[in-house]
Structure formats: structure tokens, C-alpha cells
Structure 1
């Protein structure tokens, strides 16, 4: 009461919220479960085992996440009250007596595991049990069975096709063969969907969902890597252009350097040639001066002789 009063005080501020999917949870006094049984002679009965909900005492609880097995879940809701609160259960019994494959696959994806896959049962009935997990033995060992159960009561009486009770329930709920015929589409998309359903028929739903999630994650990863590669390829041309420009600059610089070296060599050669020419001219000038002196000496001698 104190917690409830505190919640009412702060409720308008939306600081906290009440917790719980249902007001009253089940399982404290045992988990109620409806077990359907079939027979061909109304004497020997065989339990119809579902894929996910408790039934077989030796079957461990399956891991189904992220799959939500709707029929198994609704069977638990049906077990919380009389069958009149779940009109769909009457339709389920009726379709199983008819041997509808689509309904059977809701119970067992692998139809071969359905005990009446070769021939529909002539009679059906349903009982309600209460299930508990088994506990370790006194010596610490674990029992071979996962579950223990106690019979509670009859949930649905024995029925067969043409049964008065079954027909009255079907008529009361408007379920007896009054479904409108479905229009079959022959478009390409519809045909593809039907083909895909035929290919995955028999595959457990959790495995199928995990496979699709793994494929989606792999595709996303590959797409991310591909986009990364494309971005890297787009940046490569700019780098190549810069590299080419740098190489061109280096080449131009190298050409200028070579040109400067050639110019220097030419200048050196020209200077050497000029130096050689100057020496030749000096030598020639000296020779001319010597000859002029000889001529003048000769003239002086000639004058003296006269």
C-alpha cells in the first residue's frame, strides 16, 4: 500500500511507471497448459506435441528468440480460462480433424513429426495440466525429465467431424466453413513469394530468422567495405595529380639545372677560346713589334753606311 500511495503522488510527474505486462502473473501455482490428444478409435490416445510450448515432459524449453510463436503463446492464454473464452480453439480442433496442412504446420513445421500426418485423427480432446520444472535429486543428480505435471481438468470434450457439440460451437462462433474464398494472385511478386515459402517450408522459424539477420548483417558489412573502397579510389586521382605535378616540377627543375650546367660549360669554353685568341694576338703583336725593331735597326745601319 505504501508503494502504491507513493506512486500515485509522483504519477503526474511521469517520473516512474507501474511495471508488469499483466496485473496477475501465472506460474506461481504451476504453469497451466492445454494438451491436445488425438485418437482413431477413442480408446488409444496420442498427445499432439507443439514445437515451443511445454508438453512432452522430456523436452527442454527451446530457445526461440527473436521469433514469437503465436499459436503456442495463445495456447497459454487459452489455458488461463475455459475454452469458451477462446473461440479460435474450437476452430483449431475442427481444422485438425479436417487435416488442414497449413494448420498442422503451425504445430509442427516438420510435418513428419506430427503424429497424424498420414491420416487425420478421427477424435480429438484436450486436457489442462499444471507444469513445474523438475528439481535435483537428494544426491545432487538431475532427473532425465525437464518437467513434472499434475492433471487439472478436462478442457475440451471428445469431438469428431459431425459431432453435435462441435457443430453447435462452430455455428455459435460463425466458424463452420464460412470463410470467403481467397483470390489467388498470379503476379510475378506473388509467384516469387509462394516459391520462397515452398523453399523454406520445414525450416524452424528461429533458424530462419537468425539466418536472415546474419545475411542482412553480412550484406551491410560488405556494402560498407565497398563504399570505403570507392571513397579510397576517388581520392587516389587527386593524389596522382599532385604526384604528377610534383614529378613535373622536379623534371622542370632538373631541366633548368641541366640547362644551367650546359650554359656554364659553354661560357667556360668560350672564355677558354677567348683566352687562347688573346694569347695568339699578344704573340702576334710581339712578333710584329720585333719585326718593326729589326726593320728600324736595319734602316739605321743603312743610314750610317752612307
Structure 2
């Protein structure tokens, strides 16, 4: 009978490993897994990084489709010296803070209502969210008709109860806020959905404990729902603020920045300058808008998330 010799295989010690393997804790290093990042990195670079740096350069030039001339910061000086451009910058800040604040408050109240035990709760949730799915241009056209000062349904309904409706989109005092009201109507459904997700994730034990302790609806909301839905609040604030600062479609379709320049925002000012052939000036406006969004959103996001962690 033939004897079989079994040779024991000694595993490689850490000392026998290559320097790269020792640096990786004994595992063999390979760059293969990082190759999967390459397609996304290329797309990000082509669609965002390159256009961003190109915009910064062309904002310092007077350019056409076939030629460009470097003029330094003249475009930015002109941008902030024109009254209508400064008005658009101011309107952008007002519009963004009004719409984002309204979405936070209304979204939270609607979410509390739609997570309570009411009849037709699922149907009401779909009704509240439906405007989010509607086309922005379609919503703008619909409300332009509804807000017509002479033949609009809104003023017609107000006239039935003896109220003389204003020129929602033709009166300089109301134009910007009228568009902001439409923006809130269209976007509050998304804020409500985010708040609903935050509220239903709160452990039921907290609610039961509050009920046992005799806490009423207001105390439960103030002590439990409001603090524990803070992540949802942060998300709604950031998303709404970015959307408000970048708003263009509603304002352009409903008022085109009018009457005069009273409802212009940065985006509509940029578009008007581009239509007039001032490409360098419109590019400078894009850079200003980018810097404004970054300067407001990034510190605010850091502050809100830091406060959330501290809690």
C-alpha cells in the first residue's frame, strides 16, 4: 500500500507580505474597484466642473459665439451698478425666504394632520402631493388665468362676497408675492411628504408614554413631534431654499419680471441680459447666482446639521 505524505501548508506571515499588503492590513491592494468610479467622475467633470470653471472665465470677458475679450471685473461692476439688476438680487432673497419659510410651516402642519386619524387620510395625502407632479409651466399658465384681475376666477369669487380683488400679477405691490404663493401651493406637497416620513419614523412608544403622562395634543407636538422631526425640517429648509433662489419658470411665465422690474429675480434678469445679447453680463449673473446659493446654503446646512448632532 502506497503511503501518502501530507505536506502542511503554512500560511504566509505578515512579514512575508508585500509592503502594499501590509499597509492594507494583510489584504492585497488592487485599484480595480476604483475603476467603477471613473464613468461617474467623467460625467461629473464634463457636465459640472468644466462648465463651472468656463463660466467663471467667461464672466470676466465680453464674448460672443465667435470671439471673446478679457475685461476683468467690469461685468460684475455693471451688474451691481444697474438698479434693475440689484432689484432682481433683492427680490431673489425675499422670494426664497418667503417660499421656504411657508413650505416649512405649512408642510409640518399638513403632515401632522395627515398622520392623525382622520377620514380619507390616504386620499388627502395624494391630493396634497398632486401639484408637485404637475408641470411648472402648466401651473403658471393656469394661475395666470385664475389671477386675471378682470376675468379671473379668484377675483370673480371675491366679488361675490363684496371684495374688490387686486391685480395679482399687474400690481407692483402684489406681483412677486402672488408668484410666491403659487410656488408654495405647488411645492408644499413635497415638504409635507418629507415631514410625513419623519413623523411616522418616530417610535410609537414615545407617543404612548406622553398619552399615559396626560400630555395633550399641543404638548405632544411641542415636546415630541417637533424635536424628533428636526432632520425632516433641515431637509425641507435646504431643498426649499435652493429652489427659491434658483426660481425662474413660474416668474417668467406669470409676470416676465413685471410690471416693470418689480418681480424680477436673478434668473429672469440673467435671461433678459442673454436675450439682449449681453452674454458676458449674463454669465456674470450666473456666477453671482452660483455664489449666492453656495454662500447661503452651505453654511446653513452645516449649522443645522451641527445643531442636530449636538442635540
Indicate whether the TM-score tops 0.5: no
If you compute each CA radius of gyration, which structure gives the higher value, 1 or 2? Answer: 1
**Higher relative contact order, structure no. (Cα contacts within 8 Å, ≥ 6 residues apart):** 2
User: TM-score of the superposition, structure 2-length normalised?
Assistant: 0.19
Greater strand content: 1
